[in-house]
Amino acid sequence: MGETSRAVPMGFEALLDHVGARGRFQILQLVFFYITSMISYTHILLENFTAATPEHRCWVHVLDNHTVPGHNHTATLSQQDLLRISIPLDSNLRPEKCRRFVQPQWQLLHLNKTLWNASEADTEPCVDGWVYDKSSFPSTIVTEWDLVCEHQSSKSIVQVVFMTGALLGSLIFGYLSDRFGRKTIFTWCLLQTAISDTCAAFAPTFFVYCSLRFLAGLSTMILLSNPLYLIIEWTRPLLQAVIAMQTSYSAGQMLLGGLAYSFRSWVTLQLVLSIPLWVFCMFSRMAVESARWLIFSNQVEKGLEELRRVARINGKKNAGETLTIEVVKSSLREVFDEAQKKTSIFQLLHAPRLRIRIYYLCFIRMALTIAFFGLILNLQHLGSNIFLFQILFGLITFISGFVAYLLLNYLGRRGSQILFLFLAGLSILVNTFLSQETQQTLRVILATLGIGAVNAGFSAFLVHGTELIPTVVRSTFGGMNTFFGQVGAVMAPLFMTLAVYSLHLPWILYGTFPILSAIAVFYLPETSNQPLPNTIQDVENDKKGSRKVTQEDTSIKVTRF
């Protein structure tokens, strides 16, 4: 037994190398989680299409019944003439969406509309309902429950409800994942999301729909985070696998654009994206639990079983047979001792320089998330062709992450981040005041540039933030950082409810936050070509001396959420 123990090097990384860190198992795992993450990500953006607001106007008797007592000649009038006598014009000389004339204005048929003051005629809200243009969307939740005019903020409320669920779900299921395992909670969340979003397609009321989307929000973010953790805990080299997983989110955006174009009915689209989750739920039972989590949760025998299972899949049966409980325990003794040394949040915040860094980084994360979700959750406010926007956004986020990693080496961490954040903020602000009718091409270019800059800013932030926080508290800070990211995700749709007061106000906020965060970056130190801090004292002393950067220092957990 002693010879076997000496044959296996120390540390979990060595155990992973022993059973295979880049074999057939890792490829199958990456493919499965890539597909599940791609589909799961679309559920965050569903309301871009299921809650699209088509062109609409008030329902009126003379126009939609084609009969009005005392005016039998209406049958000879054109639709345009009937519309003119029934619906007042707005400031852009387009039919009002939310008001109608109390009585048909027959005199408008014989008057030049520019010479007649429409304010002289009495108008009223759409008391008999609305008529919707069904050329692009035969049905959405907006047409289902008349979420227009005084109820137009309801779409944003659905997104707030979903993101609030995501915030709570990250806390609840994040804890449960550490308590009961990554795979177990991942399978449960697949089932919960499948049930919630399938049932949402048959929701009888708007309240029931919101409740079901809240339940889906509780579990959806775990469908993105837990696969990433399992990839991280089973795969080497780490960076390539993480970047590959990141592209699944961009692929999900492009997939959603294509499917939404093919399936215009909101019920059909909801089901098309929910049914695959049932299939994934069945296949997830064959996934392998994290041996690292099992071992550090005092389930060494189960962890050993999973290590042997991976060895068999990777074609290393002999390697699996040489592993025993004694070998595992002896290999990880030092790591077990290190794991007992935990640092609390209070210790983090008692260190002045580290505390300032954490404040700035949490604000930057929140600002980036506000801008990101402000753009990708409100495609219809950016232009008419939301299918094209969805595909373009997916494509540009796919590319921008790689662009960010290239520029980080030339401009440094701080310079790159400031450039991306200012570019994102200015793109959004300029786009806010452009006309949708006459400057559509420029709006598309600026919106695409904005989402690309925000996504590149995320990549730069992840690298810079990781290098600013000492190794001993990096995981603790990661939890805090994720929380503020989720707060930003809730605030983004919440800001859109302010559109009832001013159409420009939400977009001014979306553009202002990245610029403010760029200013915050000025107050953070440059970390390019600097040794990573390992302890809190390194930060407090602003230690510049060179030291060996360990493998643990350079392994970066990357997640957009």
Considering the segment(s) 1-55+133-337 as one domain, its CATH architecture is Up-down Bundle (1.20)
For residue 317, the model assigns a pLDDT of 74
Computed on alpha carbons and rounded to an integer, the radius of gyration of the chain in Å comes to: 28
Domain with CATH 1.20.1250.20 in the chain: 1-55+133-337, 342-561
- Measured CA to CA, the distance from residue 510 to residue 368 in angstroms comes to 9
Low-confidence ranges of the chain (pLDDT < 50): 1-10, 67-71, 113-115, 543-561
- Measured CA to CA, the distance from residue 559 to residue 217 in angstroms comes to 17
Beta bridge partners of 56: 132
State the SS3 of 393-406. Answer: HHHHHHHHHHHHHH
For residue 553, the model assigns a pLDDT of 41
Beta bridge partners of 238: none
* Sign of torsion over alpha carbons 417, 423, 429, 432: negative
> Which residue, among 376, 427, 368, 387, has the nearest Cα to 250 in the 3D structure?
376
Q: Provide the residue type at 301 as one letter.
A: E
- Is residue 44 within 8 Å of residue 28, measured between CB atoms? no
What 3-state class would DSSP assign to 100? strand
- Is residue 203 within 8 Å of residue 537, measured between CB atoms? no
> Which residue, among 293, 294, 238, has the nearest Cα to 557 in the 3D structure?
238
The burial of 91, by beta-carbon neighbours within 10 Å (0-12 exposed, 13-18 middle, 19 or more buried), is given as: exposed
Helical segments of 47-137, H only: 47-50, 61-64, 79-86
Superfamily of domain 342-561: MFS general substrate transporter like domains (1.20.1250.20)
